[in-house]
Amino acid sequence: MSERTLVLLKPDAVRRGLIGEIIGRIERKAGWTISALELRSLDQATLEQHYGEHQGKPFYEPLVAFMASGPVVALVVEGERVIEGVRALAGPTDPIAAAPGSIRGDFGVIVRENLIHASDSAESAERELKIFFPSAV
Ligand code: IDP
């Protein structure tokens, strides 16, 4: 069954010139398609909505500052098992714990600057797609 997920290439990925590398990995998965794609700068209100579940945690304020530090690439990716699948391509949150071959495992070192966000469940995808691409939902 086809699904949709929200992917953000974080400001570190954009600054380091890794947009093509990361999108290429997503595009090469059989049958997945990119149905929306935009370079944009995120404001505080959007970030508060997106990362609301982390409010109050010690990493929250630096995370929001980092996510506002430069443009991100926001994408909607559609396809079979795409929610679980993009999370697998990304690897776990801590890039040092992420296996080589995953996006975070290949390119990341510090936890905050881990290159990519991908919705972690169908419920998160629905909520996040409404924030970033309200007209596509
Ligand atoms: P996820 O992006 O792998 O789903 P979450 O736990 O939802 O991970 O955390 C959101 C983002 O917050 C992470 O991708 C990372 O950028 C940042 N983050 C999470 N935990 C930490 C931490 O312990 N220190 C610094 N940043 C963190």
* Digit-coded pLDDT (tens) for 63-117: 999 999 999 999 999 999 999 999 999 999 999 999 999 999 999 999 999 999 9
- In the reported structure, the alpha carbon of residue 14 is separated from the centroid of ligand 1 by a whole-number distance in angstroms of 18
ipTM over 0.85: yes
Phi-psi region of 80 (alpha: psi -120 to 50; beta: other; left: phi over 0): beta
Q: CATH number for the domain including 25?
A: 3.30.70.141
Asked whether 68 and 41 are in contact (CB, 8 A), the reply is yes
50 counts as catalytic: no
Print the domain residue range for 120. 2-136
- pTM listed for this prediction: 0.98
Per-residue exposure over 66-94, b if at least 16 CB sit within 10 Å of its own CB, e if not: bbbeebbbbbbbbbeebbebbbebbbbee
Beta strand residue intervals within the chain, DSSP E? 2-9, 33-40, 72-80, 116-118
For ligand 1, whether the C-beta of 120 sits within 6 Å is: yes
Count of domains forming the chain:
1
Percent share of the chain, pLDDT over 90: 97
Name the binding residues.
10, 59, 87, 93, 104, 114
pLDDT mean over 30-41: 98
Ligand 1: residue of 57, 114, 127 to mutate (most ligand atoms within 8 A of CB) is 114
